[in-house]
């Protein structure tokens, strides 16, 4: 399966690298628009630096005024005129060449430092006060306007009434423009009185483009139109990006989807060597782990099936012999083929074999019960030393009469474990019974209890025949017996398997250890966690 040649990288990096092209596209568009709008704004609507110009004027002598160009401070289409105390023009810069102001016009130009502004409103012809209303307004700190004075002019712009701007002469249209801070060409015009570097009183009249001018309005209209066009452009590029990324992600997911299909078809996933973003690589690695786990699980299932098959075969084999004997002897008794003096012997044999069948069935039942996951275990706090001592005290006379020597090394202190008392006795009994069944009289049994590193240990050893090497590996599996080596032939092969199950239920284990150097026999070690 082709999995690509992409280097190992994170999903975030993958998405970022694929989105960078589209981001750059949008940035290029936005940057271009920004530069265009900035250039246009600088052209038609520059930000004036009036304070800088006024500061420069205060530090400049009359002889140096000609070097002052207002454009760097006030922007394009600006002008500057310097007048003395009598109103005579000392210098004109910018578009001030050829421009002149009358005394009345100069009086109408508002001072730059004042917070008041004159507002002019043309009223209807039938207005009672007059045709024009002039109000002096001042902005307060909270942004509201307060009216500090007013005047009414008639249709000829002659002062009629009010509190401000009273004079005999009519106002010209240009003077009304000046009163409102406009120069008649959609520019702001202001006056500023100062003292120059020579200590002389001077008056500066300057004009410039301001917010609210026609150019400004045009600028904002263009800007709004451009910004509105950016939205569909961005949405279009974003949609294309989503489509592009979805295709890229689908290509990365294709091997994973194919792996799922292969797994369903019981074929290799083919994900070895998959390369992609870290998250996808981790997903592929986890999928391979799952595949391996499923493979092992299937192998374990087949092994368990084989084990169950073998178990049934072994059970059948172990039951077949006594059942066959019982059938044969019963048929002989039924058909009158036995002599009267042999009938009791036949019945005794049938009874023994029936007991053997019952014993095997009970053992099989016990093993199957321990193998169930819901096997009830009544654990409680037990003194292991007391439990072992009690068990061997009960078995001592029986073992001694059978010709076995028992030696115990049990400390007087308590070693506490959490255990099912009956099951733990059963585990020890299986080992002791095996030792008694497979060893001749005179064999010495040794039991020892000790504690080390939080684990309790019961060691049950004998100096008997030992266990053949070929049986040691599978000794704790069901139906493994030492009949050929130890000679009795009476075991079911389940005793040690049951012991192993009991120790497993207690969180411990059992193992076969080598006898001490120069010794012989078998050494079983039962381990339990201490509490």
Q: For the residues of 180-211, what is the DSSP string, one character each? A: TTB-SSS-EEEEEEEE-TTS-EEEEEEEE--T
Mean predicted confidence (pLDDT) in 158-181: 94
* CA–CA gap between residue 107 and residue 111 (Å, rounded): 10
* CA–CA gap between residue 510 and residue 456 (Å, rounded): 12
Q: Are 145 and 139 in contact (CB under 8 A)?
A: yes
Which residue spans of the chain are classified as CATH 1.10.287.130? Answer: 278-370
Which residue spans of the chain are classified as CATH 3.30.565.10? Answer: 380-529
Mean predicted confidence (pLDDT) in 139-168: 90
What Rg do the C-alpha atoms of the chain give, in angstroms? 56
The per-residue DSSP string of 36-85 comes to: HHHHHHHHHS----HHHHHHHHHT--GGGGGG--SHHHH-TT-EEEEE-T
* CA–CA gap between residue 116 and residue 109 (Å, rounded): 12
Q: pLDDT tens for residues 430-439?
A: 999 989 988 9
Q: Tokens at residue 93, please?
A: 């810069």
> What was the pLDDT predicted at 127?
81
> 442: which strand partners?
none
Q: pLDDT tens for residues 482-515?
A: 544 333 345 567 889 889 999 999 999 999 998 8
Q: pLDDT tens for residues 22-48?
A: 778 777 877 777 777 667 666 655 678
Q: Which of 80, 92, 100 is nearest to 191 (CA)?
A: 80
- The arrangement of strands across the sheet holding 89-94 comes to 89-94, 79-83, 201-208, 188-195
The per-residue DSSP string of 257-295 comes to: HHHHHHHHTTS----TT--SBHHHHHHHHHHHHHHHHHH
H runs (alpha helix) in 371-420 = 384-401
Confidence of residue 223 (pLDDT cuts 50, 70, 90): low
3-state secondary structure of 429: helix
Taking the mean position of all CA atoms in its chain, how far away is CA 54? 60
Query: Taking all residues of the chain, what is their mean pLDDT, rounded to a whole number?
Result: 84
For the packed helices 11-44 and 278-334, what is the interaxial angle rounded to 10 degrees? 160
Phi, psi of 276 (to 5 degrees): 180, -165
* CA–CA gap between residue 450 and residue 408 (Å, rounded): 12
Look at residue 19 and tell me whether its pLDDT is greater than 80.
no
Close Cβ partners of 34 (under 8 Å, ≥ 6 residues apart): none
* CA–CA gap between residue 444 and residue 405 (Å, rounded): 5
Phi, psi of 457 (to 5 degrees): -130, 130
Close Cβ partners of 3 (under 8 Å, ≥ 6 residues apart): 255, 271, 273, 274, 275, 276
H runs (alpha helix) in 439-493 = 469-472, 483-486
User: Could you tell me if residue 518 is left (phi over 0), alpha (psi between -120 and 50 degrees) or otherwise beta?
Assistant: left
Q: What is the DSSP letter of 373?
A: T
- Classify 380-529 by CATH class: alpha beta
CATH of domain 278-370: 1.10.287.130
Least confident of 225-229, 325-329, 456-460, 527-531: 225-229
* CA–CA gap between residue 228 and residue 248 (Å, rounded): 31
> What was the pLDDT predicted at 6?
43
Q: What is the DSSP letter of 443?
A: P
Q: pLDDT tens for residues 386-445?
A: 999 999 999 999 999 999 999 999 999 999 999 999 999 999 999 999 899 889 999 999
Q: Tokens at residue 124, please?
A: 């209807």
Q: What is the DSSP letter of 110?
A: P
Residue given tokens 């997903």 in the structure block: 283
Phi, psi of 180 (to 5 degrees): -85, 0
Most confident segment among 144-148, 237-241, 416-420, 473-477 = 416-420
Q: Are 451 and 526 in contact (CB under 8 A)?
A: no
Q: Are 231 and 218 in contact (CB under 8 A)?
A: no
Q: pLDDT tens for residues 244-255?
A: 778 878 888 888
Q: Tokens at residue 33, please?
A: 């628009």
């Amino acid at each position: 399966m082709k999995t690509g040649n992409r280097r190992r990288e994170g999903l975030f990096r993958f998405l970022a690298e694929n989105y960078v092209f589209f981001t750059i596209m949008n940035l290029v568009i936005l940057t271009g628009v920004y530069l265009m709008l900035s250039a246009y704004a600088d052209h038609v609507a520059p930000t004036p630096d009036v304070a800088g110009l006024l500061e420069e004027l205060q530090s400049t002598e009359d002889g140096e005024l000609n070097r002052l160009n207002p454009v760097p401070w006030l922007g394009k289409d600006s002008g500057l005129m310097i007048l003395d105390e009598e109103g005579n023009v000392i210098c004109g810069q910018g578009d001030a060449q050829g421009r002149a102001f009358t005394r009345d016009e100069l009086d109408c130009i508002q001072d730059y430092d004042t917070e008041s502004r004159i507002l002019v409103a043309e009223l209807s012809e039938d207005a009672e006060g007059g045709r024009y209303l002039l109000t002096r307004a001042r902005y307060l700190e909270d942004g509201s306007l307060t009216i500090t004075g007013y005047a009414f002019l008639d249709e000829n712009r002659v002062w009629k009434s009010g509190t401000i701007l009273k004079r005999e002469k009519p106002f010209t249209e240009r003077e009304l423009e000046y009163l409102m801070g406009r120069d008649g060409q959609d520019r702001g015009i202001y006056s500023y009185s100062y003292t120059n570097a020579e200590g002389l009183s001077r008056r500066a009249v300057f004009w410039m483009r301001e917010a609210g001018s026609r150019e400004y309005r045009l600028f904002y209209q263009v800007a709004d139109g451009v910004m509105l066009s950016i939205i569909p452009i961005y949405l279009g590029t974003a949609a294309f990006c989503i489509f592009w990324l979805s295709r890229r992600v689908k290509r990365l997911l294709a091997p994973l989807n194919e792996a799922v299909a292969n797994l369903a078809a019981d074929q290799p996933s083919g994900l070895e060597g998959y390369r992609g973003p870290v998250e996808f690589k981790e997903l592929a690695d986890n999928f391979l782990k799952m595949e391996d786990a499923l493979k092992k699980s299937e192998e374990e299932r087949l092994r368990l099936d084989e084990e169950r098959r073998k178990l049934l075969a072994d059970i059948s084999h172990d039951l077949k012999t006594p059942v066959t004997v019982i059938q044969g002897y019963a048929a002989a008794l039924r058909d009158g083929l036995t002599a009267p003096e042999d009938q009791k012997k036949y019945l005794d044999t049938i009874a023994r074999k029936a007991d053997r069948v019952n014993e095997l069935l009970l053992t099989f039942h016990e093993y199957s019960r321990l193998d169930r996951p819901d096997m009830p275990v009544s654990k409680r706090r037990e003194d292991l030393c007391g439990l072992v001592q009690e068990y061997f005290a009960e078995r001592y006379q029986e073992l001694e009469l059978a010709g076995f020597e028992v030696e115990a090394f049990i400390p007087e202190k308590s070693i506490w474990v959490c255990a099912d008392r009956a099951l733990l006795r059963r585990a020890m009994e299986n080992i002791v019974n095996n030792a008694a069944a497979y060893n001749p009289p005179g064999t010495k049994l040794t039991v020892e209890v000790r504690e080390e590193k939080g684990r309790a240990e019961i060691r049950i050893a004998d100096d008997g025949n030992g266990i053949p090497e070929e049986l040691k590996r599978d000794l704790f599996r069901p139906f493994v017996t030492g009949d050929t080596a130890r000679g009795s032939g009476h075991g079911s092969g389940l005793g040690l398997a049951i012991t192993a199950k009991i120790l497993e239920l207690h969180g411990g284990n059992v193992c076969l250890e080598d006898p001490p150097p120069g010794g012989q026999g078998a050494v079983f070690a039962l381990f339990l966690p201490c509490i």
